[in-house]
Structure formats: structure tokens, C-alpha cells
Amino acid sequence: MKLLLISLQSNASLVGLKYIAANVRAHGHDARILLLPGYLESTLHPAVEDFIRRYSPDLIGIGLMSIEFYPAKNITRLLKETFDIPVIWGGLHVILRPDECIRYADYVCSGEGENAVLSLLEHLRDRGRDVPPDIPNIWVRTGDDIIKKEALPETDLDRLPVIEYLPDYFYGFHRGKIYNFARNPKLFRSYALYGGTCHMMITTRGCPFYCGYCANAYTMTVFGRKIRKRSVENCMEELRLVKKDPYVLYINFEDDWFFSHDREWMRKFCEEYKRHIGLPFMVRVFPGVLDREKLFMLRDAGLSLAIMGVQTGSDRVNFEIYNRKVRFSSVRKAAALLSESRVAPYYEMIVDNPYETEEDQMESINSMAGLKRPYTISLAHLTFFPGTLLTERALKDNIIDPEAYLTRYMVKINRTYFNKLLYMTPYIPRILINFLNKPEAERNAVHTGLTNTLFFIVKRTVEPAVFFFVLTRGLKYNLNWTVRTLLGNWKSALAKLLFNFLGRGDMEFDRRLELARKEMPELFQ
């Protein structure tokens, strides 16, 4: 049996689809992955049609985040007009809105897909399309009826096959042609995050927190609160395989809750990592539970960069709006630990929150300005995902467009006065921040003009320089690794300088989306 997995996202970092493909192949079937970034053309390109016809898959899977909903509708329509092949949708958006997604696909996967998709593929082989499957996580549309099955999580992550950095069955659509990425690694790197210099990896699944804005708060109803973990041996198997590729410079652990591993796991992991891998790596940390002993063990093993979600510097917003029970005092303590460890700190903030007051925004800027430098900062537009506490509140208050999350990237922030000032807090003198951090009623042309000028300068000179310094320090002043990292990332960095906070692929998708609204209005109904 053959499975074709299609991704519509703008980059080639596809952890979820890699897992599904690897599991299908480990059980004796064939699988390919095809990257079709934001496909919104009104017809199926001949190269895409020919690729699918030649491969002749028995099942086509489409993975989507919410931003890829309309491209998924579009490509599914084109596939069904051209082929008689069943289509299944999966991914975070499907987990959030399975009832909506099943209207457009033959099947949807309402949970994790590794074994569900494998079971569906074998069901199609053994019993055919006319017999509805009875498989956990799989919903099926039969005429006007929808058969829904309970969503069950993968309980033993070690039973899943490890994934590769660049598998030989990974293809991409580029300038009217289909390319095998493994045979064209330079092209792959142009689509991969961070210039393809890192391998994206997870060692755990799940998050125990119920933050009001986060899609994880909804997926918790599917997967539960328990953190599921891989063994050190299983992680090392993947890392040894990945290290064989000479272009991989570092490992990006994408776990929401990497620090949930106990000290024994951490100690064993760090020993094995130093002995067999030795690449710099990055992790995500949560303030309030950042453990000093674990942090310094990881630092010794090669931890170079830590991403910490701060979200806001206002305790009122965190507690009353975000349902995130973390005081900023915990952020200060965690930031001090990161500074002491000399890991490169990267702090994430949420902006464009309609429930924030000017006082909240000013407090957030003051709080962030008080953290020990150097550090870098990232801003994200508050996205109202369906099913979250904050979305339900905002819908009740009638202050949001309930469909906005389908068309707007989180990194596409509003260019407001406070957003610009917040972004500059790590880079300009605190006395200047205090001068500029004023409510609208107290500002004048000097405040606005100076903020706009500084933002332009900081975004293009100071911020890259600070990032270079913290990265170099995070890499323990290893000039060779610093230069190699910068050379691998320079195109991605340049794109973000030129296109504000979006990458080039995201900007191109934004333009195509607006054009599609005019040319194919029925797609958006």
C-alpha cells in the first residue's frame, strides 16, 4: 500500500508527517511526503498531477495547521476532481475542528496519526473504501452521515520509529517542478527553518498547563494532562542517525515541557549526549519550574539557547486574562538562572491583546526592561484558537472575528507604538525606555518620531548584533560553530529583516491568500 502525505505549510520542518511516514514504512508499506507551500492555485499543476499519477497512492493525507485551512480545502477539491483516491486530513486544526474538517475530506484524524493512519491504510487494503473503518481517532464521512470514533493518544512513544533529518522520500514543489529534497539538499535548506541547520526533535508530548489562549488547553481534552516521554535510548537512536548528516549543526528540542524529565533521565541523557553527539542544542523552558541542577547539566552537555515563554509582564493579564498562574517574579528568577548559565536567552511575548489596557502594556515594558541583559525577544500576535477559554470569552464579548485565526500568522504583529517599544526593550538604554513608555494622552511627536526611528535602527542593526553576541556566548565562544550557524541562517535572518517579522514564504502566502479571495471567493464561504 502507498501513502502520500501532503504538507501545505511554508517551511519543510515536518515532524508530525515524518513520524506518520516512518511508521507506515516500518510496517512494510510505502510512503512519500510532498511539500506544496500554501497551494492556492485554481487548477492542479501538471507537475503535481503527474507526480501523483506516477506514484499512484492508495491514500492521500493532508496535514494542516489552522493557517493552512483554505489551501487544504483548495487542494482537496482539485485532487477529487482529478483522482479517485480517498483523502484524510490531520494535524492540529483537525483536532480543534473535526466537525468542520470532515465536510471536505473522506476521513479526518481527530488525534495523533501514527497508528491511526497505518490502520486506515491496512483497512483500505483488506476491506476497501465501501466498508466504514472502526479505528480510534478516525472519523469517516459516508454520504450524509459521519461516523465518529474516540480519540486515543499514543501511550508508548518508544514503539514509534525514529525520524530522519532528511528522508529520501521527501519531495517539494518548487517553481513548477517536483524535486526530491534528498537529491537536492540545497533546495531543501532554502525551505527548512533556520536554513536547515537544525534537526527538529521532540522527547515528550503534552503540557499540564491550561493557559486560556493556548491550543494545547483544548488538545488536553483529547490527550489528557499526562506528559508522555521517550527513553534516553530511544532519543539517542534518533540523534545518532541525525548526526550522520554533516549539515546538521544543532538540535532543536521542540518539547513544550522538556524539563518534565526527572534528574535521573537528565543525567543519563547529558552523559550520552556529550559522549556520542556533541552538537549544540536548544530547549524550551517554563518560568517557575526551571530547575538549576537540570539547567547546568544541560549546559555542560551543549545547551546553547533557551526559549522561554513570558507572554506578558503584567500579573493581572497573566492571571485574569490568560489563566496562566505565573507571576513575573518567577520570570525574573528564571531569567537570572539563564543569565548565570550563560545560555543564550530568547523570550517570547504575546501582543495585540484586546483585553490589555495601556497600563498593562506599560507594566509589561517596564517588567521586561528590568531583566538582566543581554537577551533577545520575540513577539506573537494573540491568536484566538477555537475551544480555548479566552476565545470563548472573546466570542461572548463580541470583540473578535471568529475566523481570523485561519488567515493570520501569529508572527504578523500590529505595528503599534507599544509593540515597537516592547520589542526594543532588550536593546536600548533603560532611561530611554522610561522616557518613551508613556500613555497615548501624554505622548507627542517627539515620542512617536523617536520610537519609529529607533525601531528601524534596532531591527536592522542592534538586534542582529545582540543576537550574534548571545549566540556566540551560548556556543561558549566557539567561533567555528558561530560562523557556521550564521552562514546557514543568513537567508532566513535577511528575510525577517526585510519582511518585518514574517519570513519570505509567509509573505508570499499572505499575498496569494489575498489574491485567492478575489479570484476564488467560493473557497472562503
What are 154's three cell numbers?
499514543
Closest CA to 428 of 395, 450, 406: 450
Q: Quick check: 362 pLDDT over 60? A: yes
d(CA 237, CA 36): 30
d(CA 74, CA 37): 12
Fold of 2-157: Rossmann fold (3.40.50)
Cα–Cα distance list, 421 to 268, 344, 364, 414, 441 (Å): 43, 22, 11, 12, 16
Distance of CA 195 to the CA centre of its chain: 15
What is the number of helices (H) and of strands (E) in the chain? 21, 17
Q: How confident is the model at residue 387 (pLDDT cuts 50, 70, 90)?
A: confident
Q: Do 420 and 451 contact (CB within 8 A), yes or no?
A: yes
What pTM does this model have? Answer: 0.95
| Greatest mean pLDDT range, 214-223, 424-433, 512-521 | 424-433
Q: Which CATH number fits domain 192-509: 3.20.20.70, 3.30.70.141, 3.30.420.40, 1.20.120.530?
A: 3.20.20.70
Q: Quick check: 224 pLDDT over 80? A: no
Q: Do 213 and 382 contact (CB within 8 A), yes or no?
A: yes
Give residue-wise pLDDT tens across range 429-486. Answer: 999 999 999 999 999 999 999 999 999 999 989 998 998 899 899 988 888 888 777 7
pLDDT number for residue 222: 77
Q: Give bridge partners of residue 179 from the DSSP assignment.
A: 172
pLDDT number for residue 404: 93
For residues 254-276, average pLDDT: 96
Q: What stretch(es) of the chain map to CATH 3.40.50.280?
A: 2-157
Closest CA to 21 of 72, 67, 66, 57: 57
Rounded CA Rg of the chain: 23
Q: What stretch(es) of the chain map to CATH 3.20.20.70?
A: 192-509
d(CA 116, CA 101): 17
Q: Give bridge partners of residue 281 from the DSSP assignment.
A: 251, 303
